[in-house]
Each structure stands twice: as structure tokens, then as C-alpha cells.
Amino acid sequence: MKLFTLTTALAMSLSLASPLFANDKPGEGKPAVRVVMPAQIEEHFHHYILLRALQELGYETAEPAEAEYQTMHIAIGGGDADFTANHWHALHAAFYEESGGAEVMTKVGVLIEGALQGYLVDKASYDAGITDFTMLKDPEIAKRFDADGDGKADLVGCTPGWGCERAIEFQLTEYGLRDTVTHNQGAYQAIIGDAIARHENGESIIYYTWTPYWVSGVLVPGKDVEWLSVPYTALPEGSEGLNTIVDGKNVGFGVESVGVLARNDFLEANPAAAKLFEVAKIPVNDVSAQALEIANGANSTEAIWGLADKWIVDNRATFDGWLAEARAAAE
């Protein structure tokens, strides 16, 4: 009995001292993790998935803060947040540099691959031969998309502070469209909602959008609308070398990667979190699907947490793989 007891005690002691056990909750005792998310609720989902992972690693997580994209970068650079999971590597490059760049922040991993941006028109206009964005230099073509009677095309554009507005403004000048196109920059959800209503009434529309997002679940490319091409790639400085070709068409914006942007001091102090951010990946179609759920009514904080938790249940093996790598990094 004594031998059994001593042997058992020794085994338990070794087990308790093993790295696997010691690092099961590597975040315990650490300061609460501060995340900053976009104000657009469709982009909370993937943040919540990472927050759940951090919680399973033993971290406390502070109440998420919300801001527009440029302000998110300023918050991280200035030490008011530890990370965001919504840094578009090319689109937000200027925000990154303007907020301190590599001296204070690191782009970690690729959470979402294959994000697209570009201009679309209703399918009737596309089938009538309006297939290239620069065709709107023709005043008669531009009038087709005139929503307010001023004779210029009304482009549903990008909200100031998002980053995409810089690219659109650059292209309007580069492609010579200033005289025939108005870049509407109100609250995106409101102006795209107006465009959808006009489309339902049989009117012609032109708009900028991106994926993953719910708009392409309502105005379906290939069915309701079509992507426009551009004659050549024209993007602001810092976007050189991007692939702007999608299915053989130059859509004018780079095929993007979205990842985590985190403070360097946070990453150094939290190797488990750093590894989690590096290895976590969520399919772009899954992000689009939840965005459509939100557009269809799952638009409360509780509902979006529920969508994140359901994704974890449905992808538990993948999720556990992230956690295993994160725990190993903390040894």
C-alpha cells in the first residue's frame, strides 16, 4: 500500500509539473486583454471567436471597444488597446504607418484570406455593355446611374476613415471621372440600403462593396449585379504589387488578407496569444454567412456571440488545434 501511495504521489507530482498541465491556462494572472473592433457589427464575429479562444487559454478579456478603422489603429499605436482582428494588410497600410508602424505594432497571421473589393452595377446595365468603371467618363452613361437629378452618376462609396475612401478618391482622379461621378460617402449601411431599394424598383445602381459582407448575399454577383473591370491598376502609394485580377478581370482593388494587428509589448509578454493570432484562420465564406445572418436579424451583441459560439462548436477540432499550438508556445 505504501509503495502504491508513493508511486501514485510521484506520478501526480510529475503530472502537475508537466509543461502541458502548467500551460493549460497560460493567460491566468495576466492583465485583461483589450480588443478594439470596428463599429460595423458584421465584423465583430471573428473578434468574438478569438476572444473565446483567449478565454479558454485563461485570459480575462476586457469589454470590447469600438471605433472606425483609422481610430482603431491609433488606439493600438497609442497603447489604448492590445489588438484588433480587422487589419486589412494593404488597405490599412497607411493607417498602420501613421499610427507608429513596426516600432509599436506587428501584423500577425492571416485570419481571413481572399477578401475582395470593387465596383458593381446592376446586371441589366452590365448586359447593356457597361462593363468597365471608366466608361462612366461618358456623360450619357453616367446619367444612367443618376439618383438625384444632377446628371452625374451616384456611386455608393466608402465611409471616411475606413481606408477604401482613399483608394476611390485616387481612382476618380486617375481615371478622369471627377466631372461625371459623385462619390457618396454617407453612413454605408444607409446609402447601400437606398441603392438596394432603387434596384428593387428596377433602377440602375453603381456601388463599391467588399467581401466578406452581407451585401453580396442580397445583391448576388452574377445574378443581380456584376463586378466592373478597370483598364489598369491605379491605387495609392503603399499598394504596389497587389494582385487585382479576379477570375481574369482587373477589379481595381487587391485581393486582400485580413489579420490581427497587435502591440509589440503585448505579443512579447503573451507568447500564447501571439501564437493564437498567428495560427487562427476562419474561411471567408463563413464570415460572409454570419454577416448575412446579421443582416437578416441576428444583429444584437448576444446574437453575434451566439453565432461565434456556434462556429466554435461546428469547428471544434480546428479551434482546439489553435489552442494546442498556443499552449505549446507558452512553454
Q: What is the mean pLDDT of residues 275-286?
A: 96
The pLDDT tens digits for 116-157 are 999 999 999 999 999 999 999 999 999 999 999 999 999 999
Residue 322 binned pLDDT confidence (cut-offs 50, 70, 90): very high
The whole-angstrom separation of Cα 174 and Cα 165 is 14
pLDDT recorded at residue 6: 37
pLDDT recorded at residue 278: 98
pLDDT recorded at residue 174: 96
Residue 21 binned pLDDT confidence (cut-offs 50, 70, 90): very low
pTM above 0.85, yes or no: no
Average pLDDT taken over every residue of the chain = 91
The whole-angstrom separation of Cα 90 and Cα 240 is 9
Higher-pLDDT residue of 217, 79: 79
pLDDT recorded at residue 77: 97
Residue 219 binned pLDDT confidence (cut-offs 50, 70, 90): very high
Give the alpha-carbon dihedral of 264, 268, 270, 275, to 10 degrees.
80
If 0-12 CB within 10 Å is exposed, 13-18 middle and 19+ buried, where does residue 25 land? middle
| Contact between residue 274 and residue 90 where contact means Cβ atoms under 8 Å apart | no
Residue 161 binned pLDDT confidence (cut-offs 50, 70, 90): confident
Contacts of 189 (CB under 8 A, 6+ apart): none
Residue 10 binned pLDDT confidence (cut-offs 50, 70, 90): very low
| Contact between residue 174 and residue 138 where contact means Cβ atoms under 8 Å apart | no
The pLDDT tens digits for 105-123 are 999 999 999 889 999 999 9
Q: Is the pLDDT of residue 54 over 70?
A: yes
Q: What is the mean pLDDT of residues 325-330?
A: 96
The pLDDT tens digits for 295-316 are 889 999 999 999 999 999 999 9
Between 16-30, 184-198, 232-246, 302-316, the lowest mean confidence (pLDDT) is in 16-30
Pick the closest to residue 116 from 194, 37, 237, 221 (CA basis). Answer: 221
63 to each of 37, 68, 118, 291, 301, how far by Cα in Å?
11, 17, 33, 22, 12
DSSP secondary structure code for residue 31 in this structure: P
Give the count of beta carbons closer than 10 Å to the beta carbon of residue 234: 17
pLDDT recorded at residue 238: 66
Residue 17 binned pLDDT confidence (cut-offs 50, 70, 90): very low
The whole-angstrom separation of Cα 73 and Cα 95 is 6
pLDDT recorded at residue 14: 34
The whole-angstrom separation of Cα 245 and Cα 185 is 26
pLDDT recorded at residue 8: 41
Q: Which amino acid is at 14?
A: L
The pLDDT tens digits for 57-79 are 999 999 999 999 999 999 999 99
